[in-house]
């Protein structure tokens, strides 16, 4: 992605046609804050997802940009967003390195001051708009190395517990599980998208189709020769206790740990990163080094970190 002074220069984001419609700062700076994100490099560390809450048929992405310009001119409220996306396009209204008043968590909250904010329009074909929204999220995750657990709904940050995005979060009781399902949809697109900078897990790696009577332990015993390695299969496929699997389900299998030359590092291990650069050459942000990661896949001299879907060298990680 080509970004100059926080403004995207490309004709599309993740394949969604893009137009910059940057709000001109006026008056009290209540839309255009002119404040840099509080992250060390002024790049976003989180992505905040919203619905516009406006079902009027005219309320598309461009209309919301014009609305924000009117708000800025009239100083009527404090509200801003980086990106609006609808069923066929997206627009940018504020520079990506600038604080937006989107998340209701104050001037230095993570949602406002460390995030990239995206509003999904609901004026027309909502499933199409939402699917475009997912493409944008994936493109920005890859651009800024943002892991899926830092892609969160407005509700996650909002001090007033606003149930937004309301088309994705069904209720205050279920919003966390509703969001988990949405995160899984994002990761499905993330892993199928080969255009990004970070390689997705190797689709050519071995798989196993679950048979009648199988358990994870039995599969590990039969296929890997060690029943206790069922935890590696579980981790690789995102299966948690009580480890329920279904006949016909296709499981990814760990590569034999002896071929990695990694010594003791195995799939499923919890590790920390000490290196300066990813195996793909990009600099590793400090917060990534402060976080514990799960080894998702091993390949020759490198390991794929599950939470950030990024490859690092085995010599740059240690078990915790
Ligand atoms: Zn919202």
* Residue with the larger pLDDT of the pair 82 and 307: 82
CA of 2 to the centre of ligand 1 (A): 27
Give ion ligand 1 contacts, CB < 5 A.
50, 154, 164
- DSSP one-letter code for 222: I
Q: What is the pLDDT of residue 277?
A: 87
Each residue's pLDDT tens digit, 16-57: 999 999 999 998 999 999 999 999 999 999 999 999 999 999
Burial 125-142 (b: 16+ CB within 10 A, else e): ebeebbbbbbbbbbbbbb
User: 143 C-alpha to center of ligand 1: Å?
Assistant: 23
Query: Could you tell me the distance, in angstroms and rounded to a whole number, from the CA of residue 46 to the centre of ligand 1?
Result: 15
How far apart are the CA of 157 and the centre of ligand 1, in A? 10
146-187 pLDDT tens trace = 999 999 999 999 999 999 999 999 999 999 999 999 999 999
Question: What is the four-CA torsion angle of 168, 170, 171, 177, rounded to 10 degrees?
Answer: -70
Helix or strand or coil: residue 116?
strand
**What are the φ/ψ torsions at residue 227 (nearest 5 degrees)?**
-60, -30
pLDDT band at 263 (very low <50, low <70, confident <90, very high): low
- Contact (Cβ atoms closer than 8 angstroms) between residue 123 and residue 61: no
Partners of 19 in the beta sheet? 91
Q: Residue 11 above 80 pLDDT?
A: yes
Strongest mean pLDDT among 80-84, 144-148, 198-202 = 80-84
Residue-range domains of the chain with CATH: 3-192 (3.40.80.10), 207-319 (no CATH)
Ligand 1 centroid, distance to 154 Cα (angstroms): 5
Which residues, in sequence order, are CB contacts of 157 under 8 Å at separation 6+? 48, 103, 104, 105, 109, 110, 111, 112, 115
Burial of 5 (0-12, 13-18, 19+ CB in 10 A): exposed
Q: Kindly state the percentage of the chain with pLDDT values over 70.
A: 93
Q: How far is the CA of 11 from the centre of ligand 1 (A)?
A: 26
Look at residue 154 in the predicted model and tell me its pLDDT. 98
């Amino acid at each position: 992605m080509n970004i100059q002074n926080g403004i995207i220069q490309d004709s599309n984001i993740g394949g969604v046609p893009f137009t910059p419609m940057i709000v001109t700062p006026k008056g009290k700076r209540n839309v255009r804050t002119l404040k840099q994100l509080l992250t060390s490099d002024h790049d976003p560390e989180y992505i905040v997802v919203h619905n516009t809450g406006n079902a009027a048929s005219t309320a598309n992405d461009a209309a919301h940009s014009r609305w924000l310009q009117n708000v800025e001119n009239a100083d009527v409220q404090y509200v801003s967003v980086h990106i609006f996306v609808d069923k066929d396009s997206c627009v940018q209204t504020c520079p990506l390195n600038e604080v937006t008043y989107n998340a209701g968590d104050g001037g230095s909250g993570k949602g406002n001051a460390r995030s990239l904010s995206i509003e999904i329009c609901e004026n027309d074909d909502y499933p199409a708009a939402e699917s475009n929204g997912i493409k944008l999220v994936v493109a920005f995750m890859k651009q800024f190395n943002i892991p899926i657990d830092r892609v969160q709904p407005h509700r996650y940050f909002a001090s007033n517990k606003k149930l937004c995005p309301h088309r994705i979060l069904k209720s205050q009781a279920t919003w966390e599980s509703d969001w988990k399902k949405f995160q899984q949809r994002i990761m499905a697109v993330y892993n199928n998208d080969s255009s990004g900078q970070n390689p997705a897990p190797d689709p050519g790696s071995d798989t196993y189709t679950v048979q009648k009577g199988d358990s994870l332990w039995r599969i590990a015993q039969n296929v890997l020769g060690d029943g206790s390695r069922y935890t590696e299969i579980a981790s690789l496929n995102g299966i948690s206790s009580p480890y329920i699997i279904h006949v016909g389900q296709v499981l990814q299998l760990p590569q034999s740990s002896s071929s990695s030359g990694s010594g003791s590092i195995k799939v499923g291990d919890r590790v920390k990163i000490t290196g300066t650069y990813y195996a793909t050459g990009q600099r590793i942000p400090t917060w990534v080094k402060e976080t514990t990661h799960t080894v998702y896949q091993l390949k020759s001299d490198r390991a794929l970190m599950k939470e950030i879907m990024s490859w690092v060298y085995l010599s740059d990680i240690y078990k915790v």
